[in-house]
Amino acid sequence: MNQQARDVILYELNEVPWDVVDIYVENRPGSHLAALLAEGQSLTTVHEDREELQGLQPWRTWPTLHSSTYSHNSFDLGQDPTTFRGDPIWTVAENAGLSVGIFGPMQSWPAREFRHGGFYVPDTFSQDAVAYPVAVQRFQAFNLAMTGENGFSPNAALHPKTLAGTGLSLLRQGLTPRSIATIGTHLVKERRDPRNKAFRSAMQAPLGFDLYWALHRRHRPRLSVFFTNHVAGMMHRFWGDGMPGYTDRYEYSPDDVYGEFIVAAMDIADRQLGRIRRFIARNPRSMLVLSASMGQGPVEVVKSDDTCLVLDDHTKLVAGLNAAATGLGLAMYPMLSLVFGSEADAKAATGPLESVSVDGGGPLFARVRVEGRTVTFGTDYAVEAGSDPVLRFRPVGADQESTARASDLGFAPHSRVGGVNTGYHIPEGILLAAGAGVRPDPSRKEVDVLDVAPSLLANVLGVEPGPSMEGIPTLFG
C-alpha cells in the first residue's frame, strides 16, 4: 500500500492510561477496544514538558501533541488565542491542500471555515458558539452553556425547553436513537439517586460524537479529529471508587455508585470506537489513531472538605477591584479567566488580583498569569459550608487596602457532587493505531509525544511537517 495515501481519524481520549484500558478490557473482553488491542499497534506516549508548574495540564499537553513543540505558549484555558505559537496539525494539513474536520480538540478556538472542505467545531471552552457548518452552532451554544453552568459541580438545573430545542436540532443532524436512550436512562438515574448527577458531564460525549460522526461521513476529510474529556472527568473524581488497589494504598471509603462511573464512561467511548472500526473496515485506506497526550494515576486525598469558594458573579469581582475586564472566559475549576479590552488593562489587574486574601488566612488566588488580553488564575480555597469570609484586597489605582465579604465580590461556598479528586495527571498516555497499513504490535513501547503530529502528517497523510514542529516522523510508517 502507498503509505502516503492514507486518511486518518484521530480519536482523542483525554488522559486515559493503559491501567484503565486494561481494567476495561478485563471487564469487557468482547469490546471493540479489546479487538483494537489485538489487531492494532499499542504504544505509550511520554510528555516531558519543560514548564514544571504547568506541564501536566491538558490545555498544555494537547497543544504539545498537536503542534509538536513545547514552545506553543498555551498555559491556561480561556487564554487569549493570539498568544499561542506554532501550527497545529490541522493547520499544516490545510495549508497542504487537504480537507480537514475537527470536533472539540483543546485550544482550537476560534473557529474558521477550512479552505478545502471539512468542518470546524472548536472546544467546549470557546468564548463564542461560532462553528462550521453554521448548522452546528446551536449545539455548540448548548455545549458551552453546559460547560459554564456545571463547571464546578454538575448541580445546575436542566432546562426542558433548551433540551427540547437542542434535541430537535440534533435529530436533524445525526443524533441516534441509542444516544437518546442513553441520555434518557441517565436522567432517570439522576432522579432516583442524586449521586448520578456526577456522571452528567459524560452525557455530552454521545451528543457530540453523533454530530461529529454525521459530519465526518458527510465531508470525508483526510484528517478527522474528535476530542472527548468524559472519561478523564470520571477518573479524576472516582479513581478511588472504581480502580482496584486504591484502598490498599490509601485510606479511603469507596462509593458503590461512583465506582461504576469509569467503566460506564469507557462504555460510551467503546461504542464510538465500534462505529469507527466499522467505517475503517469499509474504507481500506483509512486508519484510526486513539491517543492520549498524557494519562492519570492514583493520588492520595489531600483534603476531606470539598466546600470551596466559587466565583458565581465575575462582575462583582471586577467592580470591587476597579478592573476593566469585559468578560469571563470559560475555564476548568479551579482556574478562572478574565478577558480585557487591551493587554494594558489585563496587566493593570494582575496586582489587584494577587492582593486578594482571606482575612486571617492566605491569598485567595494563585498562578496569576497575563497573556495578551486575558488574565488567568486559580482559586482552590476550602471554607466551611455556608461561610462568608472577609476578603482583603487593593483595587486598581488605590493607595489603601479594602475589605469586603466574599459574597460582595461574587463568591459563594459550593460543595461538589462526588467529593474530591483521587486521580491526577501522569506523563504517560496511550497511543493505539489500527487500520490501513498498521501491523499488530502489543509492545506499548514509549514514544515521544512530539513525534505524533509529524508522523501523522509525513507517514500517513503525505504532508511535510510544519517548520516549527520539533518531533521526528518515526511512527506509523
Q: Are residues 243 and 282 in the same domain?
A: yes
- Residues 247-265 have pLDDT tens digits of 999 999 999 999 999 999 9
Question: Any residues with CB less than 8 A from the CB of 176 and at least 6 apart, and which?
Answer: 210
61 located within any domain: yes
Q: Are residues 173 and 152 in the same domain?
A: yes
- Residues 422-458 have pLDDT tens digits of 999 999 999 999 999 999 999 999 999 999 999 999 9
- Are 123 and 252 in contact, with CB atoms under 8 Å apart? no
Q: Are residues 331 and 437 in the same domain?
A: no
Per-residue pLDDT at 3 = 47
CA angle 327, 328, 332 (to 5 degrees): 165
Length of the chain: 477
Q: Are residues 386 and 264 in the same domain?
A: no
Average pLDDT of the segment spanning 202-210: 92
Q: What residue type is 366 in one-letter code?
A: A
Angle between helices 177-192 and 204-219 (to 10 degrees): 170
Per-residue pLDDT at 381 = 82
476 located within any domain: no
Q: Are residues 187 and 104 in the same domain?
A: yes
- Are 224 and 456 in contact, with CB atoms under 8 Å apart? no
Parallel, antiparallel, or unpaired: how do β-strands 223-228 and 7-13 relate? Answer: parallel
438 located within any domain: yes
397 located within any domain: yes
Q: 289 has which bridge partners?
A: 10, 433
| Count of domains observed in the chain | 2
Q: Report the percent of the chain where pLDDT is more than 90.
A: 78
- Residues 130-161 have pLDDT tens digits of 999 999 998 898 888 877 765 444 444 545 55
Q: Report the percent of the chain where pLDDT is more than 70.
A: 91
- Residues 16-43 have pLDDT tens digits of 999 999 999 999 999 999 999 999 999 9
Give the pLDDT band (50/70/90) at residue 88.
Answer: very high
Per-residue pLDDT at 168 = 61
Q: Are residues 377 and 261 in the same domain?
A: no
- Are 433 and 44 in contact, with CB atoms under 8 Å apart? no
Q: Are residues 315 and 294 in the same domain?
A: no
Name the residue with cell 458573579: 313
Which position has the higher pLDDT, 389 or 163? 389
394 located within any domain: yes
Q: Are residues 243 and 272 in the same domain?
A: yes
Per-residue pLDDT at 156 = 47
470 located within any domain: no
Domain containing residue 326 = 307-415
Q: Are residues 269 and 316 in the same domain?
A: no
Q: Are residues 291 and 202 in the same domain?
A: yes
105 located within any domain: yes
- Are 461 and 9 in contact, with CB atoms under 8 Å apart? no
Q: What is the CATH number of the domain that holds 187?
A: 3.40.720.10
153 located within any domain: yes
Q: Are residues 406 and 431 in the same domain?
A: no
Question: Any residues with CB less than 8 A from the CB of 390 and at least 6 apart, and which?
Answer: 358, 359, 403, 404, 405, 406
Q: Are residues 348 and 296 in the same domain?
A: no
Which of these three, 380, 415, 450, is where a domain ends?
Answer: 415
Question: Any residues with CB less than 8 A from the CB of 202 and at least 6 apart, and which?
Answer: 230, 231, 233, 234, 261, 264, 265, 268
Instruction: Report how far residue 89's alpha carbon sits from residue 293's, in angstroms, rounded to the nearest whole number.
Output: 14
